[in-house]
Amino acid sequence: MKLSNLPSRLIAISAMSISFAAAIQSQAGTPLGKDAAPVHSSSSSVNWLTGEGVNIGGIIFPHAHFQAVYGQTTADDLEHFGAGHHDPVSDGWTIQGFEFGASARVNEYFEAFGTYHLFQEADTRDWDGEFEEWFAKIKNLPGGFELRGGRFFNRFGLHNSTHLHGWNYIDNNLVNGRFLGDDALTTIGGEISWNLPTPWTSILSVSIGEAQSHDGHSHGHGHGHDHEEHGDHEEHEHHWFEGEDALFNDTVIVANWTNQYDYNDFHQFRYGASGAWGDNKMNELTQIYGVHFQYEWRQNGYETGGRYFRWRTEAMVRGFDYYARHEDEHEEEHGHHDDHDHHDDHDDHDEHGDDHEHEEEEEHHAHVHRGSETEFGIYSSLIYGLDNGLEFGLRGEYVSGVANTSLAERFRISPNVTYYLNPARTVYLRGQYNYDHSPEFDDQHGVWLQIGFNWGGGEVR
């Protein structure tokens, strides 16, 4: 299957989608917790300190965010900690980023969103930036349909479409970073979603678009280059291909089905399944299937304040085909000259030879690995919050790994505690400890302290 053969113009023409969070929000006003995006109007009360309700002409609603981390690790190199581009991976400060965005709510049918992220590379400390998302959407269409087009974080499970400032943990989940990319699965294209006619809220979304790669951002998936630079060439030889080669690299189709069932005002359930299909960086097929579940209890129900508890779990299976070709160094050193002389004696024959004969000759000097692999990953997190601004979290994660690649088996557990400095929870301090274990690097530890600042109301999603 080669999805890259689909014309890019088809993607542009089909560039439409629905925002899942906004569609849920339109259903009886039921909150979705931290990820929900409430709709504002020009008549909303304005709080300049938190940014809630601040607008331009009742249409443009600005947003601003900042996150930075200070901490220490026991890791000797970057790959042992980061699962995301903005994750802290080395001692000292990591400026995770300044994010500036705006939501446009023109009327009941048309909305738009854009955000620019200015960040500091965790390893080089160089500054860089990019527009993470920019899209428009048409909602409230007949039949329960909504459309979105542009550049967006795809709706895959519960975590992928959430920006850094909406995370409950300092760093990305292992399975999300490894399977979907360390900057989230992001495409330029379009998406259509259908609010299914069920007694509960049920949203089915399907998108098609060009995957946006971040070649310069990658860390945390394991890189054979690090081994080679440090002289561990023998270990690098066994890597048939790098883990990042299994990521999506061209046209991607993504489907997401999510449900919300409110048992009553205090107990809510979210559950569903996702799938993604597309070509990887080896021009072979990668496919990912996931299931997600969340239970949330709120002491005050739909009202603000009070204690709360949230349990979230996502599990994914990734299957991918691969093709890797490595030169045989022994043949290169001792047999290349003789082969060259042999070709000189038969130039005319080579000029009229077929491709099959040429491929056999190439494979004489190379090892070709072709096949399919499967990898499993899961995370589960618990969040318990008090009414005084304290929040406690615990996350456990596992990825199974793939032999003969840089995708090592890995387990991580991360307890954390967050203190929100104001009732609106726009300024916070978060401490987190990471315990990592893998056969590749044994036990590693990291301790982090994050400061975060969020300004503005809910975003168009």
- Structure confidence by residue, pLDDT tens digits, 197-214: 999 999 999 999 999 975
Specify the amino acid at residue 32. L
Selected residue with higher pLDDT from 362 and 47: 47
Would residue 360 count as lying in a domain?
no
pLDDT value for 235: 43
DSSP H helices in 230-300: 233-237
Cα distance between residue 31 and residue 37, in whole Å: 9
Alpha-carbon distance of 383 to 31, in angstroms, equals 17
**Would you say residue 350 lies in a domain?**
no
Residue 156 lies in a domain: yes
User: 39 vs 363, which has greater pLDDT?
Assistant: 363
Residue 461 lies in a domain: no
pLDDT confidence of residue 38: 37
pLDDT digits (tens, 9 = 90+) for 353-411: 455 454 455 445 557 778 899 999 999 999 999 999 999 999 999 999 998 788 999 99
Residue 3: the pLDDT is: 46
Measure the CA angle with vertex 59, ends 103 and 55; round to 5°. Answer: 80
Segments forming the whole domain that contains residue 22: 3-40+55-328+365-455
Tell me, yes or no, whether 217 lies in a domain.
yes
pLDDT band for position 120 (50/70/90)? confident
Candidate ranges 21-35, 76-90, 165-179, 343-357; pick with highest mean pLDDT: 165-179
Q: Do the domain assignments include residue 422? A: yes
**Mean pLDDT for the chain overall:** 81
Instruction: Return d(Cα 435, Cα 272) in angstroms, integer.
Output: 30
Q: Specify the higher pLDDT residue, 231 or 201.
A: 201
Is 347 among the domain residues?
no
Name the band, by pLDDT with cuts 50, 70 and 90, for residue 218: very low
Rg (CA), the chain: 24
pLDDT of 229 above 80: no
**Contact criterion met (CB below 8 Å) for 158 and 314:** yes
pLDDT digit string (tens) for 246-288? 999 999 999 999 999 999 999 999 999 999 999 999 999 999 9
pLDDT at 240: 74
d(CA 14, CA 190): 6
- Asked whether the beta carbons of 175 and 377 are under 8 A apart, the reply is yes
Residue 50, pLDDT > 60, answer yes
Q: Residue 328 has which token pair? A: 């045989």
Q: How far is CA 217 from the centre of its chain?
A: 13
Domain count, the chain: 1
Confidence class for position 105, pLDDT limits 50, 70, 90:
very high
Residue 138 contacts by C-beta under 8 Å, 6 or more apart in sequence? 16, 109, 110, 146, 147, 148
Query: pLDDT tens-digit profile of 60-99?
Result: 999 999 999 999 988 776 555 778 888 988 888 889 999 9
Q: Is residue 45 part of a domain?
A: no
The answer to whether residues 251 and 286 touch, using CB atoms and an 8 Å cutoff, is: no
CB atoms within 10 A of CB 442: 9
DSSP state of 4: G
- What tokens does 109 get? 């049918």
Cα separation, 222 vs 405, whole angstroms: 9
Q: In sequence order, what E strands does 87-227 have?
A: 92-105, 110-120, 127-141, 145-153, 186-195, 201-211
- What CATH number does the domain containing 324 carry? 2.40.160.10
